[in-house]
Structure 1
Amino acid sequence: MTVSARTPRVLLLTSSPLDGADGTDVALARDVLGALPGFQFFWFSQWTGRRGRPPPPVGRPIALWSRDGAPHAPVRLQAAVAGAFAARRADLVHAFLTIGRTFPVYSWMRPLMLGARPVVHSVPGVMDSGLLARTRPLGTTVALTESMARRLRAADFGDVRVIPPMVQVGRWPYLPRPAGMPVVLFVGHHDPHGGAVIAVEAAAEAARAGARFRLVLAMRGRPGQHTAVLQGELRELAGAVGLTDFEVRGYVHDMHALLASAHVLLFPPPVIGGKADIPITVLQALSTGRPAVLSDLPQFADLGNAVLRAPAGDSRRTGQQLAWLLEQPRVWEMLAARGRATVEESFGPERFAVQYEALYRELLA
């Protein structure tokens, strides 16, 4: 039976289970799974352990053994091997893989692992630009932003498309400004250049300028990190720079409640690194009507005038932007409305579904 005579089979290739830990690759894969009902999907699920979320209600799961659903090395190896076998039953493979230190080796093994079938590779992020020179494209490459697309084309990745990530705007409704003491929220990882240190220093600058607020840092750990130690170091830094009203949390499961309580999202990393070009949390905050102060990085150019930007790595200027925003309620309202409109226009589910379905049909033809 030809592909045109039956429902096309698509393997969603991720480095960890879709019902496991958070990650942009997992979020993108789940969004594709829910947005394209006209395809039969295979996806990785946890065989045992503590699930981070309910399993998707559609598609056919492929079990991986995992203790906590995070992309530890044994889980990534299982995913590679299971993906190689499952690819033989698929008409198309859709990979959601960050270009990290092991990816160049995998890319050169692509014919052995994935065969001759068409491959779509959505790139959540690039850990180090130097890796691109040692990497071969898996197939048609999808970047999340025009900035990343230019980097990939310059590295001879060939056919590179741009499909921004999506936000279910119905699940992230626009909320009015909260009452009471303003809360400034940072959400990120304990990475050397993840932005948490600059966020603390910028908050201290804003406080010295007279702004009154509470800083909340919601920190996500990565496999192998000692999160309790890293959280303690952030608390010490906040105290050392003179902040008195702050809180360092671990991973927060209820992001809706966290954003509802916040007034401003502060996300000033000096570089993006392994994170998504536009972190999903930033889009969720804008959808909720929470203005954002971001680093002036090329990846954020797609957000236009819906956000405030400060020079990357400049905690003083970032703090000044934050203090100004907190003191200007009309500017706050204007940016909140712009952020919501930008998400609806450029990051909505309809556009996401149409673009990916068109790409699937093109490659399957």
Structure 2
Amino acid sequence: MSGERGPQVLLLTAGPLDGPETPGTDLARELLGTVPHVEYAWFRRWWGRVRRAGEVPGGQGVSVISREGAPSPAVRLQILTAAVLSARRTDLVHAVLPVGPGFAAFSRMWPRVAGRRPVLHTVPAAVEGADLADCRPLGRTVALSEATARQLMEAGFGDVRVVNPSIRLDLWPLRRRQERTPPMVLAIGDGGTEEAMLSAGVAARAGARFQLVLALTGDGPGAAASRPPEDLLRGIAAREGLLDMEVLRHIGDLPGLLAAADVLLYVPRRMTGRADVPPMVLRALATGRPAILSDLPEFAGLSDTVLRTPPADPHHTGHLLRQLLDRPWWWDRIAERGRATVAGRFGPDRCAAAYTRLYRELLS
């Protein structure tokens, strides 16, 4: 790994890395900027509207024809064809792919068409149990949480390692809490929009005063179709007494938005198909913003870094939100704990060391 030429690794994802953020592409982008002494090949769009500022760092881009970059069937077929050809010219294939409805067929087909190159498979999102039927491991498997690792091992994936996702703290520095009235509650709407609004309504009726900002910006499969229409959201807001609410369907300045927020609220009922630890949660904790999350198995690794609440319990969540907004000393304690935990458990050095060891094991 430290010789003249690093290993050549094909980073296999369901969509191009310069397209919309999905659990797989977001994690793969972090790997490109984190793991040293590796020559990565990754998939990019050949043409189309640029969706993000800057360029994916490092490595060699393998182009696929895609205007929007979404992992459509046509784009996946192109990536599969290019991956089969590229795999034979690399030392290792690192697949960053969720285990979804089509994974069983892919897992049986891959070794027949791509040869016997070693494969490391990182599962970037929580798994639906039914999707594991007839699946075969692609090679050594990595999960992002103990809950997903146990699920995969029970399905016959062998000894599944757990490697926490990473976040670059230099890109998400600690920010002082802004003195603003009313405070801002930033809610992630990916799967928990109505739960967040109902919880905010409970907090408002209990006397809390705040602005609710709903971020409905997820780019995962089916995300656009699952976003509630504006009139439905406004109807819920009126019924719950949420007089100060803003809906964001695009975020232009995410660091600025997190700096302006006081609390991050993310209360989905389940995490299937979503990143075990969403990047937005790590970014908020790194910035020094307390987070209230559903008490789901995937979040267990965050332990007491965040405040956890029973899923689908707006009454409990709302009163927890009111208490956090009303107690500055508690806010400070949770914010400090979150930043320290992210630095200690989710720093890029730990992630790089873990994947470097795995690459060495597979290439030895």
Normalised to the residue count of structure 2, the TM-score between the two structures is 0.94
Q: CA deviation at 1:231?
A: 3.7
AA matched with 1:214: Q
- What is residue 186 of structure 1 aligned with on the other side? 187
Distance 2:203 2:228 in 1: 26
* Deviations 1:210-251, CA, capped at 9 Å, x for gaps: 000011011125466357863432232222222111111102
Distance 2:287 2:110 in 1: 40
* Deviations 1:253-280, CA, capped at 9 Å, x for gaps: 3211110110000001111111111111
Tell me the SS of whatever aligns to 1:43. Answer: strand
Gaps spanning 5+ residues in structure 1: where? none
The answer to whether the Cα contact below 8 Å between 1:14 and 1:96 also exists between their aligned partners in 2 is yes
- What is residue 81 of structure 1 aligned with on the other side? 81
The answer to whether the Cα contact below 8 Å between 1:235 and 1:248 also exists between their aligned partners in 2 is no
Distance 1:325 1:106 in 2: 46
1:217 maps to 2:189: no
Distance 2:362 2:163 in 1: 16
Aligned 1:1-365 pairs, distance under 5 A: 6-53=5-52, 54-180=54-180, 181-189=182-190, 194-222=191-219, 225-226=224-225, 230-365=229-364
Distance 1:294 1:262 in 2: 16
1:323–1:307 CA distance, 2 compared to 1 (3 A): same
Question: How many residues get paired?
Answer: 359
Distance 1:329 1:76 in 2: 49
Q: CA deviation at 1:100?
A: 1.3
Q: CA deviation at 1:87?
A: 0.8
Tell me the SS of whatever aligns to 2:133. Answer: helix
The answer to whether the Cα contact below 8 Å between 1:20 and 1:69 also exists between their aligned partners in 2 is yes
AA matched with 1:129: G
1:74–1:188 CA distance, 2 compared to 1 (3 A): farther
Normalised to the residue count of structure 1, the TM-score between the two structures is 0.94
Q: Larger deviation: 111-120 or 204-213?
A: 111-120
Distance 2:239 2:17 in 1: 40
Distance 1:278 1:7 in 2: 30
AA matched with 1:184: V
Q: Larger deviation: 168-177 or 48-57?
A: 48-57
Tell me the SS of whatever aligns to 1:212. Answer: coil
1:232–1:44 CA distance, 2 compared to 1 (3 A): farther
Q: CA deviation at 1:59?
A: 0.8
Tell me the SS of whatever aligns to 1:51. Answer: coil
Distance 1:155 1:195 in 2: 28
